[in-house]
Amino acid sequence: MFLRLNHSRPTNPNECWISRSLIHKLAACQLLFFTITCLRPVLAQEAFDLILLDTKSSAVGLQVVPGSAQQITNRDGYDNQPYFINNQQLVFTSRAKNGSSDIILYNFETKKFTNMTRTDKVSEYSPALTACGTYISAVRVEEDGRQRLWLYPINFGEPELLYDDISPVGYYGWAGEVAALSVVGDEVNKLVFPYSKADIQPIAFDVGRCVQPRPNQRSIGFIDHSQSTSTAEGITYTLKAYDPKTRTIENLGPTLPGSEDFLWLDKNRVIMARGKDLYFRHVKKKEGWVRFAIVSVPGYGGISRMALSPRKDKLILVMDRLK
């Protein structure tokens, strides 16, 4: 399925503490109900696929084009964690048959897949683009089991290790020129902000898997699992934002019950998914979550992760492929 490029794997990668960042500028989303049924049923073992929806700007923000759903990936495997590096290219995590995971680049114009990494003995997860545009960052599970953050040059040069003494890294998100890191281990999913090797600031001690920079803000959003409420629709957690300059945390209200991932539309609006439904909430207003879309794709179950292109004309959904 993927075009695998031959490039050398590093033996002694340079360790460094200089990091990069990227903050997508996302726009408002129009409250629009729609149902997508254009794909043929898929019968396969459970897996995760990437589904593309076309979107367009409207007077109120973002409009999803009904009937526009397309499969970006279509196989019995793990294709997940999408991230737009520009409007025509997407990176994501893909697990091979041997159990290792690589970072794959997809080009929307050519419809071709290219391996950013090709590593049999290690795995890479959670790709993102650095601010300079020359690296893809990713969590790398190394041969000795350590999980740390690495930079992979777009030109397929030698990778560079960041934050060599912070491990194991579960998830991360860029804020300014520093990555906030979710560290798993004895302290459950501790989120830290490394100002320097001597100044690693703990932010929270029980966070979810989604850490996202807040558009047009210097803060970074995360979900605090330590503040939760059980409801009939699932557990509700607390969305928060950390400001690296003031070292303060802002409470942004409840998450969608039964949901783990969020996507910023702008600095004050977020979307989350539950099942096949997409919901919207303004974090500065008292109104609760409002369903704005029903996504029904034959052969697929619920939505987990999401990614929106810089020009807001493409929305990628990660959907559960049914048996």
Domain that holds residue 222: 19-321
- Number of domains within the chain: 1
* Contact between 153 and 130 (Cβ < 8 Å): no
| Domain assignment of residue 10, yes or no | no
| Domain assignment of residue 234, yes or no | yes
Q: Phi then psi for 259, rounded to 5 degrees?
A: -125, 150
| Domain assignment of residue 164, yes or no | yes
More confident position, 225 or 19: 225
Q: What is the pLDDT of residue 187?
A: 72
| Domain assignment of residue 283, yes or no | yes
| Domain assignment of residue 13, yes or no | no
Structure tokens at 56: 């367009």
Residue 34 has pLDDT above 70, yes or no: no
Q: What is the pLDDT of residue 165?
A: 92
Structure tokens at 238: 């607390």
For residues 157-161, average pLDDT: 92
User: What is the SS3 string spanning the chain?
Assistant: CCECCCCCCCCCCEEECCCCCCCCCCCCCCCCCCCCCCCCCCCCCCEEEEEEEEEEEECCEEEECCCCCEECCCCCCEEEEEEEEECCEEEEEEECCCCCEEEEEEECCCCEEEECCCCCCCEEEEEEECCCCCEEEEEEECCCCCEEEEEEECCCCCCEEECCCCCCEEEEEEECCEEEEEECCCCCCEEEEEEECCEEEEEECCEEEEEEECCCCCCEEEEEEEEEEEECCEEEEEEEEEECCCCEEEEEEECCCCCCCEEECCCCEEEEEECCEEEEEECCCCCCCEEEEECCCCCEEEEEEEEECCCCCEEEEEEEECC
Q: What is the pLDDT of residue 301?
A: 93
| Domain assignment of residue 6, yes or no | no
**Each residue of 178-206: pLDDT tens digit?**
899 999 876 778 999 999 999 999 999 99
| Domain assignment of residue 9, yes or no | no
Nearest to 160 by CA among 16, 9, 11, 22: 16
pLDDT-based confidence at 141, cuts 50/70/90?
very high
**Percent share of the chain, pLDDT over 70:** 84
| Domain assignment of residue 4, yes or no | no
Q: What is the pLDDT of residue 255?
A: 97
Alpha-carbon gap, residue 123 to 101, rounded angstroms: 5
Q: What is the pLDDT of residue 177?
A: 80
**Each residue of 36-92: pLDDT tens digit?**
333 333 333 358 999 999 987 665 556 788 888 999 999 888 999 999 999 999 999
Residue 163 has pLDDT above 80, yes or no: yes
Task: Please give the model's pTM, rounded to 2 decimal places.
Answer: 0.82
Residue 110 has pLDDT above 90, yes or no: yes
pLDDT-based confidence at 278, cuts 50/70/90?
confident
Structure tokens at 59: 């007077």
Could you tell me the CATH number of the domain that includes residue 131?
2.120.10.30
Q: What is the pLDDT of residue 186?
A: 65
